[in-house]
Chains A and B, each alone.
Chain A
Amino acid sequence: MQPTSSSSSDAEGAYLCLQGLSKVYATDGGPVPALDQVSVRARRGEFLSVLGPSGCGKSTLLMIAAGLVRPSSGAVSIGGELVTGPRTDIGIVFQNPVLLEWRTALGNVMLQAEAKKLERTAANGRARELLGAVGLRGFEDKYPHELSGGMRQRVSLCRALIHNPNQLLMDEPFGALDALTRDQLGLDLQQIWSERRMTVLFVTHSVPEAVFLSDRIMVMTPRPGRVDRMIDIELPRPRTLAMREMPEFARYIHEILDLFLARGILREH
């Protein structure tokens, strides 16, 4: 929790720095390596995706970045402060919405405000504003079981944003949603990001989703996860659904799929 200053990263405009991260899990079947020497820097306000097959340790990477899991070796800094415990000034969206069933949509967003001891009336207004921005106006007083999967994940996104974090960590947030909802949430996320310009670390296993949303993609190898290739996505912003038909878009997809084929992650019989 105690921030330690290390300003070298800021000089290069990097906000999120992952330095030589390795993680080995101890299991009954012996040690299992999850991450192997992963280093990456995200610029302030950059949308960086981590793309890889399941089991490549990308979720572990995100948990380490959040300070929720300790790396076996290596270090993380956010905004020049070394991460040594759970970071509370960031926003996290998990794969599941992780909503409290006994709280309404608004109540779930306000949980973050209660944790941060934000002034109640102002936070309430902001929570309603955020819920409205993701299309949940009129659903503030609904309980999670009355909301669809996509709506729940939107609530979870609002909860991650109410304290205006500079760093957003997202762990396959749209992985459990249907294709249409997924597209819509991608567009919503892009809109929110373009307004606030927080640094985003976005873990996904969907190639088109990563290309559509990102400034840069870190492609990972199968377990143990290493950085395979960094790919700059130079598509104009804001990205539109029609851009997915563009040859440049297809080229990025191809590059990544070829990489997956070469690594044996995908196999064309």
Chain B
Amino acid sequence: MAETEHPLAQSPPLGIAELEAKVEGGRAQRERQARLRNILYPFGVAVGLLVVWEVGTRVLGVPIFLLPPPSAIAVSFIRNLSLLLFHGWVTTAEILLGFALSIVVGIPLALAIFLWPAFSRSILPLLVSSQAMPKVAVAPLFLVWFGFGLLPKVLIAFLIAFFPVVINTAIGLASIEREKIYLARSMGFGATATFFKIRLPNALPAIFGGLKISITLAVVGAVVGEFVGGDAGLGYLLMVANGSMDTQLLFAGIVALTVLGVVLFLLIELAERLAIPRHIIAGDKGMREVV
């Protein structure tokens, strides 16, 4: 009994600098692990689902035109890569033009709504009710008016995508603490300087929130346009593949569309990161807290 040291006497107390290093090291390690988990977990789940899918379709003998196994989709994707790239490019152009049009029209419209109450009162109810109208139903009409080319698809993408840009920009511009405006006036900023130095940067997180919704809607709009009457684009390819019972190609097209949508979304997010400091990006903190 006499030889056993008291458990508290064993380790000498660490200095505060050593403790800091230890705590910081622990934090860095936890963060690395968390980052790794954020990638590995969803990846693992995706791989697991694909395996279940692959094995399931083979074991149960599901006909390939009903549900092809992932391997068949992958083969089809690679074999039709040039086709997918060509049609994907057409769809990308439609999406980007529709999205650009949403910005070019949406932001000035939001500005006008913000600056002129009378304009806001007269146009906003019309704008809101126009959103209740199913835009898919208008697509055939656009075909009649604008033909089968690029234009009707761009316009449908725009029609679906521009609303969140307008609403988010208008809300972003209007929602500012009264004291910030007081501050601007007491410092001697004129209307223009107040707008560019305070109101616009204050609205940027909300505007980018609108742009992110808008880009995903633009993808939907372009595909809807191609469904109704196209001779190119991924939506058109899906219709063709469906018509010829080439379900593998249909799935390959869906994969291509998904990748396209995600890449475009990430590009907007990248622009957001460049335009505003990370800590004021709308929802960013909340997302991290959920994680």
In contact, B183 and A98 (Cβ under 8 angstroms): yes
When the two chains form their complex, are residues A94 and B279 in contact, meaning their CB atoms are under 8 A apart?
Answer: no
Inter-chain CA distance A106–B201, complex, in Å, is 17
Whether a CB of chain A sits under 8 angstroms from the CB of B145 is no
B32 located at the interface, meaning its Cβ lies under 8 Å from any Cβ of chain A in the complex: no
A32–B9 Cα distance when bound, in Å, is 71
The closest CB in chain B to the CB of A95 belongs to: B179
8 A Cβ contacts from B166-212 to A:
177, 179-180, 182-189, 193, 197-198, 201-202, 204
Q: Which positions 147-186 of chain A face chain B at CB distance < 8 Å? A: none
Main secondary structure of the interface of B (DSSP, over half): helix
Q: Are B182 and A94 in contact (CB under 8 A)?
A: yes
Known: A68-B185, A86-B186, A94-B182. Contact between A114 and B197, CB under 8 A? Answer: yes
Interface SS of A by simple majority: loop
User: Can you name the residue of chain B whose Cβ is closest to the Cβ of A91?
Assistant: B186
Contact with A along B91-120 (1 / 0, CB 8 A): 000000000000000000000000000000
A34 at the interface (CB under 8 A from B): no
B201 and A68 contact, CB distance less than 8 A: no
Contacting pair A101 B279 (CB below 8 A):
yes
In chain B, what residue has the closest Cβ to A103? B201
A14 at the interface (CB under 8 A from B): no
Is A111 a contact partner of B197 (Cβ separation < 8 A)? yes
Contact A112 B187 (CB under 8 A): yes
A111/B280 in contact, CB under 8 A: no
- With beta carbons under 8 angstroms apart, the residue of A63, A86, A102 that contacts B280 is A102
Which residues from chain B contact A100 at a C-beta distance below 8 Å? 180, 198, 201-202
Residue numbers in A under 8 Å from B182 (CB-CB): 63, 66, 68, 92, 94, 98
Q: Give A residues with C-beta under 8 Å from B.
A: 63, 66-68, 86-88, 90, 92, 94, 96, 98, 100-102, 111-112, 114-116, 143, 145
Query: Can you spell out 30 A-B residue pairs with CB atoms less than 8 angstroms apart?
Result: A66-B182, A67-B186, A68-B182, A68-B185, A68-B186, A86-B186, A86-B188, A88-B187, A88-B188, A94-B183, A98-B177, A98-B179, A98-B182, A98-B183, A100-B198, A100-B202, A101-B277, A102-B201, A102-B204, A102-B277, A102-B280, A111-B187, A114-B197, A115-B184, A115-B188, A115-B189, A115-B193, A116-B187, A116-B188, A143-B279
